[in-house]
C-alpha cells in the first residue's frame, strides 16, 4: 500500500508540474463566498500585529484585498507558508480553532492556484546542456554502452539550491567543449569497435591499506582471498595482457613471500592462468621486521623486490565489458597458540613485510589489443548496425538507415534530409580511406558532438509574439518527461507518441508517466 501511495503521489507531482505546459485549458473562477469570513479572521487574529503602524516582520495585511488574491500573490504566499508550518498566530496569542485555520488556508491555496493558472508565467527556459549524469545515461540508452561520465567530463558544479542539473548552473566553457568533443571520439570508437585502435594499458590499483585476507568481491570465486575484479571494456576481439604487481612494504619488499601462494587470473569467471609465487627465496633473509634497515643476502634482496616480475599473461578476449578477476587461492595455515588481533594502522602495515603472512596485490594492469581479430559482436554494435550491407551498392542506403535511427533518438525528434546529408558527409570522408565501419563511426562522432544532442533545445513557435505564452510541443514534452524522470533521452515508445501528436492526451500522458516511473531507470 505504501508503495502504491508513493507511486500515485509521484504521478500526481509529474502531471501537475507539466500540466501548465501540456494543456491550454482555462481554469474556472474561484468562488469568493468565504471572503467575508476570511476577512473577519484576519482582522481578529492577524491585523493586530501585521498592520501599517507596527509592520511586524515587514508584513502588512490591513491594506491587502481579499477579492484580488492575484494582485497580492507574493504576500499571500508568505501567509500560506506560515499557516502550513503552524507558526502563526504565534504561541501565547489568541488563535482560532484549527478547523477555521485549515479552511482559511485551503481557500487561500485554491485562490492562489487558480490565479496562477488564469495568468500563467512559466518564464523563459535557459539553454540546458546535458549534465555528466544525463550524458552517461543518454549514451547507455542510445548505444547500450556503459561509460564513466565523471572521468570523461568531470564533475558538474551545483547551483545555489544544491542541484547539479539546473540549467543556470550548467555553464559551458571552452575546456568543457573540448571534453565533450574528446568524449564523442572515445565513445564512438568504443561503440563501433574501432579496429585501428592502438594498444593501451589501463591500471586498476588496490588501496594501500585494503586488507586482502578474505574474499573481497562477489565476482571472485569462493575459496579465494582478495583481490580485485575489474569490469574492463575490451574494444575489439583480439589479444590482451594482464600484469600483476604485488604489494610491497615501505621499502618495497614484497609481503608474504616466506611461503608459496597460488594466484589465479579469471576472465568472466573462467580461469585462464594459475601462478605460484613465494616460498623459494634464496639465501639468508633479513631479520624479521627489519627488512630495509638490516639487509639479507643479495640474492634474497633481489628476490624480495622482483618475485612478481613473471606474473603476466597474454590471452584472447572478445569485445565488450568483461570481468577480469585476480585473486589468491585460500591456503591459510593452521595457527597454534593465541590468535593475535590483525595489525592495523598505516605505520605498522607500511613497515612490516609480513614475511610468513599473506601477500596482497598492489595493482593489475590490462593492456591491448596487441592483435585485432575483428570488431566483435557487442550490444553497442547491435544497437548501431540495424543493417549490414552485402555489397558496396548497399552501403550508402544502409548508412542512411543507421544514421536516421541514431539521430532520431539522439536529437529527440524526427530527422530531416539536411540532418542525414551532414552525417553522410562525415561518413564518406572516412569510408573512402578506412571502410564502412569507420564511416559509421565518423558519423556517430558527429552526432555525439551535435548541439542538438548535448543541449535541451526548446524553440519558440515561428509566429509567436514576444512574451507570448504557448504550450510545449509533444516532442518537447517528451524530452522534459524523460530527463525529469530518467535523466536520459526518450525511448522509442515515447518518441512515437510525441511524433504522432498523441502524447499530450490526458489518458495517454498519465499512462506514460506511470510506465516511466515503474521503469528501473526512474530509480537509478
Residue matched to cell numbers 609481503: 255
Task: Give the least confident one: 155-159, 294-298, 326-330.
Answer: 155-159
Residue-level pLDDT at 2: 41
**CA separation for the pair 135, 148 (Å, rounded):** 10
* Alpha carbons within 13 A on the beta-carbon side of 458: 19
Interhelix angle 132-143/174-192, nearest 10 degrees? 20
Q: What digits encode the pLDDT tens for the residues 298-330?
A: 998 899 899 999 999 999 999 999 999 999 998
Residue-level pLDDT at 332: 66
All structural domains of the chain with their residue ranges: 33-118, 200-333+344-374
CB atoms within 10 A of CB 181: 13
Q: What is the CA radius of gyration of the chain?
A: 33
Burial code (b: 16+ CB inside 10 Å, e: under 16) for 123-142 equals eeeeebbbbbbbbbbbbbbb
Choice between 332 and 20, residue whose per-residue pLDDT is larger: 332
CATH code of the region 200-333+344-374 = 2.60.120.260
Examine the pLDDT at 65 and tell me if it is beyond 80: no
Residue-level pLDDT at 111: 81
Copy the grid coordinates of residue 459.
524553440
Cα distances (angstroms) measured from residue 82 to each of 89, 109, 216, 439: 9, 12, 53, 63
Cα distances (angstroms) measured from residue 251 to each of 64, 208, 247, 285, 357: 79, 14, 11, 15, 17
Residue-level pLDDT at 19: 47
pTM for the model stands at 0.74
Cα distances (angstroms) measured from residue 436 to each of 191, 338, 394, 397, 428: 15, 69, 11, 12, 9
Mean pLDDT of the chain: 84
**CA separation for the pair 478, 456 (Å, rounded):** 11
Q: What digits encode the pLDDT tens for the residues 383-393?
A: 999 999 999 99
**CA separation for the pair 386, 383 (Å, rounded):** 7
Examine the pLDDT at 338 and tell me if it is beyond 60: yes
**CA separation for the pair 74, 86 (Å, rounded):** 19
Q: Taking the mean position of all CA atoms in its chain, how far away is CA 294?
A: 51
Q: What percent of the chain has pLDDT over 90?
A: 46
Residue-level pLDDT at 30: 45
Residue-level pLDDT at 494: 96
Residue-level pLDDT at 9: 42
Examine the pLDDT at 345 and tell me if it is beyond 70: no
Cβ–Cβ < 8 Å for 228, 204: yes
Examine the pLDDT at 32 and tell me if it is beyond 60: no
**CA separation for the pair 45, 64 (Å, rounded):** 15
**CA separation for the pair 15, 13 (Å, rounded):** 6
CB atoms within 10 A of CB 410: 22
> In DSSP terms, which residues pair with 234 in a beta bridge?
320
Residue-level pLDDT at 383: 95
Amino acid at each position: 500500500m505504501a508503495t502504491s501511495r508513493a507511486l500515485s503521489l509521484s504521478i500526481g507531482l509529474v502531471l501537475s508540474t507539466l500540466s501548465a505546459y501540456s494543456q491550454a485549458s482555462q481554469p474556472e473562477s474561484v468562488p469568493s463566498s468565504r471572503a467575508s469570513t476570511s476577512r473577519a479572521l484576519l482582522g481578529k487574529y492577524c491585523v493586530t500585529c501585521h498592520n501599517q503602524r507596527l509592520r511586524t516582520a515587514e508584513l502588512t495585511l490591513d491594506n491587502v484585498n481579499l477579492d484580488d488574491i492575484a494582485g497580492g500573490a507574493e504576500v499571500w504566499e508568505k501567509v500560506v507558508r506560515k499557516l502550513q508550518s503552524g507558526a502563526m498566530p504565534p504561541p501565547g496569542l489568541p488563535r482560532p480553532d484549527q478547523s477555521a485555520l485549515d479552511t482559511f488556508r485551503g481557500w487561500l491555496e485554491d485562490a492562489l492556484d487558480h490565479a496562477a493558472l488564469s495568468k500563467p508565467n512559466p518564464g523563459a527556459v535557459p539553454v540546458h546542456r546535458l549534465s555528466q549524469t544525463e550524458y552517461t545515461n543518454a549514451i547507455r540508452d542510445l548505444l547500450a554502452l556503459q561509460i564513466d561520465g565523471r572521468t570523461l567530463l568531470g564533475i558538474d558544479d551545483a547551483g545555489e539550491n544544491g542541484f547539479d542539473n539546473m540549467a543556470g548552473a550548467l555553464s559551458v566553457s571552452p575546456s568543457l567543449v573540448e571534453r565533450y568533443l574528446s568524449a564523442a571520439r572515445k565513445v564512438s570508437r568504443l561503440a563501433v569497435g574501432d579496429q585501428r585502435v592502438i594498444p593501451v594499458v589501463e591500471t586498476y590499483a588496490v588501496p594501500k591499506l585494503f586488507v586482502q585476507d578474505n574474499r573481497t568481491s562477489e565476482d571472485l570465486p569462493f575459496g579465494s582471498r582478495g583481490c580485485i575484479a575489474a569490469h574492463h571494456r575490451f574494444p575489439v576481439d583480439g589479444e590482451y595482457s594482464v600484469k600483476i604487481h604485488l604489494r610491497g612494504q615501505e621499502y618495497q619488499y614484497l609481503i608474504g613471500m616466506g611461503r608459496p601462494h597460488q594466484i589465479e587470473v579469471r576472465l568472466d569467471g573462467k580461469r585462464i592462468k594459475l601462478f605460484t609465487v613465494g616460498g623459494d627465496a634464496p639465501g639468508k633473509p633479513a631479520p624479521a621486521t627489519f627488512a630495509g634497515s638490516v639487509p639479507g643476502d643479495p640474492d634474497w634482496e633481489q628476490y624480495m623486490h622482483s618475485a612478481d616480475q613473471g606474473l603476466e599473461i597474454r590471452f584472447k578476449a572478445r569485445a565488450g565489458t568483461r570481468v577480469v578477476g585476480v585473486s589468491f587461492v585460500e591456503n591459510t595455515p593452521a595457527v597454534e597458540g593465541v590468535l593475535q588481533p590483525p595489525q592495523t594502522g598505516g605505520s605498522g602495515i607500511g613497515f612490516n613485510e609480513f614475511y610468513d603472512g599473506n601477500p596482497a596485490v598492489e595493482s593489475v594492469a590490462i593492456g591491448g589489443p596487441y592483435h585485432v581479430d575483428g570488431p566483435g559482436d557487442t550490444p553497442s554494435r547491435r544497437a548501431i548496425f540495424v543493417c549490414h550491407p552485402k555489397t558496396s551498392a548497399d552501403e550508402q542506403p544502409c548508412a542512411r538507415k543507421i544514421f536516421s535511427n541514431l539521430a532520431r533518438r539522439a536529437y529527440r525528434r524526427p530527422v530531416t534530409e539536411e540532418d542525414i546529408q551532414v552525417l553522410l558527409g562525415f561518413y564518406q570522408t572516412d569510408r573512402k580511406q578506412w571502410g564502412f565501419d569507420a564511416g559509421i563511426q565518423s558519423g556517430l562522432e558527429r552526432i555525439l558532438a551535435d548541439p542538438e544532442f548535448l543541449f535541451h533545445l526548446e524553440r519558440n513557435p515561428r509566429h509567436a509574439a514576444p512574451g507570448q505564452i504557448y504550450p510545449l510541443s509533444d516532442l518537447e514534452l517528451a524530452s522534459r518527461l524523460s530527463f525529469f524522470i530518467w535523466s536520459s533521452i526518450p525511448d522509442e515508445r515515447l518518441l512515437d507518441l510525441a511524433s504522432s501528436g498523441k502524447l499530450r492526451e490526458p489518458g495517454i500522458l498519465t499512462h506514460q508517466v506511470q510506465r516511466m516511473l515503474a521503469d528501473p531507470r526512474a530509480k537509478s
